[in-house]
Amino acid sequence: MPRATNVPYTKARRKKWLKRAKGFFSGRRKLYRTARETVQRALRYATQHRKQKKRQFRRLWTIRINAACRIEKISYSRFIAGLKRAKVTLDRKSLADLAVRNGTAFKKLVSIARDAK
């Protein structure tokens, strides 16, 4: 009895992995086994890096806010604590954006934080 390999499905499955390996170098793009291993690793790293991206952006926003606070002669922790006491509910992303793009608005926030003592 001949061996049944289910060629259409097998070809489609391999094609799916090779399609995801587009843009990889050399055999990682062309050879099924190495392409599949590389794509699986890439997907695993993509999951990790999606989580890390959130951490890294929060660190960047904190650094930007801190730099703008130093220019205004106030520490980052006192600035954040003052905003909390004044019940200003801006997140770090928008605070960093104000610090970079709109210096006058950030100065007003600093004065609000100072007055909240």
Using a 10 angstrom Cβ sphere, with 0-12 exposed, 13-18 middle and 19 or more buried, the burial of residue 87 is exposed
What pLDDT does 112 receive?
96
The terminus-to-terminus CA distance of the chain in angstroms comes to 87
What's the rounded Cα separation, in Å, for the pair 88 and 91? Answer: 9
What pLDDT does 3 receive?
81
Task: Identify the architecture of domain 8-115 in CATH.
Answer: Orthogonal Bundle (1.10)
Averaged in consecutive runs of 10 residues, what is the pLDDT profile of the chain (117 residues)?
Answer: 82 94 94 96 95 97 97 96 95 96 96 91
Using a 10 angstrom Cβ sphere, with 0-12 exposed, 13-18 middle and 19 or more buried, the burial of residue 94 is exposed
